Amino acid sequence: MLIKTPQKLQLKEQDVTPENIYFNRRDMLKKMGFLGASSLLASAAVSSKANAIEWFSEKEKASFNLEPLTYQADNNNAKLILTPETKVTTHNNFYEFGAQKHQPAELSQGFQVNPWQLTISGECDKPITLDYDDLTTMFTLEERIYRLRCVEAWSMVVPWIGFSLADLLRKVSPNSNAKYVRFETLHDPEQMPGQQNRRLGGGINYPYVEGLRLDEAMNPLALMSVGLYGKTLPPQNGAPIRLVVPWKYGFKSIKSIVSIKLVSQPPKTTWQQLAPQEYGFYANVNPEHDHPRWSQASERRITTGGLFSRNRIETLPFNGYGEQVAHLYKGMNLRKNY
Amino acid sequence: MKISIKQKVLLLKLLIHISAFLPLAYLYYQALNDQLGADPVQRVIHFTGIGAFNLLLLTLTVSPLAKYFKRGYLLQVRRLLGLYTFFYALFHVLNFLAFDLQFAWGVFIGEVFKRPYISIGMVAFLLLSALAITSLNSIKRKMGRAWQSLHNFSYLILILIAVHFYWSVKSEILVPLFYGLLSFTILLFRYKKLQQLFMRLFS
C-alpha cells in the first residue's frame, strides 16, 4: 500500500485557482488598461464609456467551453511558422460580434452553439440536417495548416481542424442544376450584438452570405473547420462550424454556418452587395489586382513580436495554392473576375 | 487665493501636455512590447489618426469658446493644441511608412498618388506641417498679415481630414459620419468668416 505524506510545500486541491478566475485575470488586467488609456484625451469618448459600463456591470460573463478534438495531424506543413493561438483568437473580423478586431473575442463568450442545426439543401437528391454532435463525429477530422490572407493585407498561419467540404457535399448528391453553393451565417440578434446594433455591426447586411462555384467547393482544399489548435472553435473564430478557403481572401471563409444551399445561380454575397467595385464574387488572392484603396502586392504576416517585427512579405497568387486551384480559372480574366 | 491668468494658462498647458503626451508614450510602450493585440501596427495607425482628428477639433473649438465665455486667455493654449495635432499626424504618417510599409518607399509614394483617401490625407498633412513650422514666434512676426491667411487653411485641413476618415473605412461609416458632423458644426461657427474668405477667392 502506498502511503503519501503530503509535504508542506505541496499545494492542496483547495489551493488551486478556480478556472474561471484563472481565465479572467487577463481580462481584468486588460480592462484596467483600457480604462486607464481610454479615459485619456486621445481615444474616442464613446469607447471609454462602453468600457466603464462593462467594468461595472454585474453580469457574469460565461466563458466559452472548448473541447479537445481527435484528429490526424498535418505533417506536410510543419515548417510553416504558426500564428500564436492568442493572436488567432483575439484578432478577428466577425462583425456579428463587433467590427473592431478585438471585439469578437470579448463579446462572443456567451455564444450558444449546442444545440446547432446545419442544413444542407437545395439542388440535391438527399438534403440533410446536421446537429451539433454530427459536426465533429460524421467525418474523420484532420488538421490542415493553412495560410489565411485577409483582404486588408494582413495574414496568419492557422492549424485548422475539420473535413473536406467536398465530402459533405457528396453526402447530399448534388443534382445537375447545382452550379453554385450558397452559405449563410446564423441570424440571431439576441446572441449577436452586431446584428442588433448598427454601430457595433459595421453596417453590413445580415445574415452574412457567401458563395462558391460548385467546382471550387469540390476542390479538396476547401475545408469545413470545426476546430483550431487541437480544440473546438472559439465563437470568435466561427464556432461551431465555418468554411476555410485558403486561396481566397478571408471574408470568403464564412463563420458559424447554419445553411449550405446548392443553387443554380451565383448567390449575392454580403460584401458584393455593399461595395461591388471593391469586393468581387471570386475574391481570389491576387497580388496583381489591387483593392481600390490599397495594394495587394504584399502583406504583413502576423506571428510574434511588436511594432518592429519585419513581417512584410510578398503576396503569392492564390495565396500560394496555385498548383492546387489555378486550373479552376483557366481562360478567365482574373482582373475582371476579381 | 486667486489664481492669476498666467497661472491658469500654465495649468491648462500642463493638462494638455499630460493628456496628449502620456497616451502616446503608453501606446508605443505597449506596441513595442507586443501588448497591443495581434496587430499593433493597425492599432497605432488608428490611434494616432483619431487622436490627431480629436486634437484638431479641440484646437478649432478654442476660439469660439473664448469668445462665448469671454475668456480671451484661452487663445494662449491654442498653439500648443495645434502642435500636438501636428505631432499626432506626424506619427500617423510615420506609422504607415515605418511599421505598415516597413520603409518600402516606392510603395509609399505609389500609395500617396494612387489612393484618393491617402492623397488628401497627405495634402492635409503637408498643410498642417506648414502651419506647425510657421507657429514659431519669430516667423510669425516676419510673416505679418500673410500668417493669418496661411493659418486659415486649418478649415480646409479639417474638411480634408473628415473626408479622409470617411473614405478610409470599409463599411463602418457611423463614426466617420459623427466626426463629419462635428467638423461641420465647428465650421458653422465661422460662417461669416468663411463667407468672406470665399468671396475674396472668387471676386
Q: Which residues, at least 6 apart from B200, have a Cβ–Cβ distance to it below 8 Å? A: none
Check CB contact under 8 Å for B54 and A307: no
Instruction: Please state which of the ranges A267-281, B126-140, B185-199 shows the lowest mean pLDDT.
Output: B185-199
> What is the dihedral sign for C-alpha A19, A25, A31, A34?
negative
Number of domains in chain B: 1
> Cα separations (Å) of B152 from B53, B60, B82, B147, B202?
17, 11, 13, 9, 16
Please, are residues A170 and A151 in contact by the beta-carbon 8 Å criterion? no
**Helices then strands, each counted (H, E), chain A:** 11, 12
User: Is B145 strand, coil or helix?
Assistant: helix
**Which of B32, B54, B117 lies closest to A41 in CB terms?**
B54
- pLDDT digit string, tens, across residues B68-110: 999 999 999 999 999 999 999 999 999 999 999 999 999 999 9
- C-alpha cell, B161: 481630414
Please, are residues A227 and A160 in contact by the beta-carbon 8 Å criterion? yes
pLDDT of residue B1: 67
Chain B: closest CA distance from residue A179 (Å): 30
- The number of beta carbons lying within 10 Å of the beta carbon of residue A28 is 11
Please check the confidence at residue B150 and state whether its pLDDT lies above 60. Answer: yes
- The number of beta carbons lying within 10 Å of the beta carbon of residue B23 is 22
In eight-state DSSP terms, residue A10 is: S
Chain B: closest CA distance from residue A255 (Å): 19
Please, are residues B160 and B34 in contact by the beta-carbon 8 Å criterion? no
Distance CA B167, CA B124 (A): 14
Please, are residues B132 and B140 in contact by the beta-carbon 8 Å criterion? no
**Full domain range(s) for residue B127:** 5-202
Segment A146-161 shows an average pLDDT of 96
Interface of B with A in 137-166 (CB under 8 A): none
Question: Comparing A56 with A71, which gets the higher pLDDT?
Answer: A71
The ipTM assigned to this model is: 0.82
Please check the confidence at residue A60 and state whether its pLDDT lies above 60. Answer: no
Check CB contact under 8 Å for B38 and A91: yes
- C-alpha cell, A94: 466577425
Please, are residues B134 and B149 in contact by the beta-carbon 8 Å criterion? no
Q: Give contacts of A314 with chain B, Cβ < 8 Å.
A: none
Closest CA to A221 of A148, A292, A306, A291: A148
Asked if B44 reaches chain A (Cβ–Cβ under 8 Å), the answer is: yes
**Helices then strands, each counted (H, E), chain B:** 10, 0
User: Is A329 strand, coil or helix?
Assistant: helix
Q: Give contacts of B104 with chain A, Cβ < 8 Å.
A: 298, 312
Distance CA A63, CA A23 (A): 8
pLDDT of residue A37: 44
Q: What percent of chain A has pLDDT over 70?
A: 82
Q: Give contacts of B171 with chain A, Cβ < 8 Å.
A: 95, 99, 202-204, 274-275
Check CB contact under 8 Å for A298 and B99: no
Strand A142-149 and strand A312-314: the pairing is: unpaired
Check CB contact under 8 Å for A87 and B115: no
Minimal-distance CA residue of chain B relative to A40: B19
Q: Give contacts of A44 with chain B, Cβ < 8 Å.
A: 50, 54, 175
Q: Which residue has the cell 483550431?
A: A228
Q: Which residue has the cell 510603395?
A: B107
User: Is A244 strand, coil or helix?
Assistant: strand
pLDDT of residue A13: 55
Minimal-distance CA residue of chain B relative to A89: B38
Fold entry, domain A67-329: Sulfite Oxidase; Chain A, domain 2 (3.90.420)
- C-alpha cell, A291: 483593392
- C-alpha cell, A59: 453580469
Distance CA B34, CA B74 (A): 39
Amino acid letter, residue A154: W
Question: Comparing A47 with B201, which gets the higher pLDDT?
Answer: B201
Please check the confidence at residue A23 and state whether its pLDDT lies above 60. Answer: no
Q: Give contacts of B26 with chain A, Cβ < 8 Å.
A: 37
Instruction: Count A/B contacts: CB-CB distance under 8 Å.
Output: 108
pLDDT of residue A10: 54
Assign A5 a pLDDT band (cuts: 50, 70, 90). low
Instruction: Please state which of the ranges A123-132, B151-160, B175-184, B186-195 shows the lowest mean pLDDT.
Output: B186-195
Please, are residues A218 and A304 in contact by the beta-carbon 8 Å criterion? no
